[in-house]
Structure 1
Amino acid sequence: MKKSLLGILLTSSLVFAGCSNASDEASDANNPQDAAESAAGTEIDPEKIVNQKCSSCHGGDLSGGMGPALSKIGSELSKDEILAVIQNGPGAMPENIIEGEEADAVAEWLAEKK
């Protein structure tokens, strides 16, 4: 019983640690050019955002992992439905892992995956 509880707790902590955006914030702090580009309002690169914030759970090629595959998500969900998933974070996925214009750009990019 104790071993199974420990396994559940460990798995849960890995899910939350892998899906956090803390590493992205740290990379901006360590790379002034990235921070300056973000502040300057440069064009949003949804693929880069997905690689930074989603690939740890959904796989680098979006084929799935701890989270479901997203490689053909556009054939299942519309842009608005994908945006709702990003905002509401179903299951173990954190809410608003991506926000604002970035979330909109990622939802549009993923909706094209068919």
Structure 2
Amino acid sequence: MSKNPVVPYAIIAILGIALVIILSYVGVNQREAIQNPEENADAAEETHDPEEIYQSSCAACHGGDLTGPPDLTAIGSKYSAEEIQDIINNGRGAMPPGQATPPQAEILADWLVENYK
């Protein structure tokens, strides 16, 4: 009885087809994450710690110690929390809008008013 040379090739072909199907299935499930990276990043990075929000969204321009420019160390005596939130959300002067999400802007504004008067 001689060996059939087609059998090893058939096994390799079946394994290859199964691998393609598995990888396709995994890829289809990741399509949403690939198409919407900003949404997924925002959801994963959403924090409620005002200092973390400040460091990730504001410190590059305003400095790690809030000394600016512009200086934020007394911002709570100049603006209300609602005004600060509006500035964060909509921008003003050199401040571009949308540097933080609206919920983060609210957290930041409350923190700035409470701690930097």
Look up the match of 1:106.
Answer: 108
The TM-score normalised by the length of structure 1 is: 0.59
| Structure 2 counterparts to residues 24-103 of structure 1, below 5 A | 35=44, 38=46, 44-64=48-68, 67-103=69-105
CA RMSD of aligned residues (A): 2.2
Deviation beyond 6 Å, 4+ runs, structure 1? none
Partner Cα separation in structure 1 for residue 72 and residue 110 of structure 2: 13
Aligned length: 77
- 2:72 partner SS: coil
String of CA shifts for 1:35-87, please: whole Å, max 9, x gaps.
3x74xxxx6001111011111111110011xx301111001110001011111
Deviation at 1:100, TM superposition (A): 2.2
Report which of the two structures shows the higher radius of gyration computed on alpha carbons.
Answer: 2
Deviation at 1:94, TM superposition (A): 1.5
The TM-score normalised by the length of structure 2 is: 0.58
Highest RCO, 1 vs 2 (Cα 8 Å, sep ≥ 6): 1
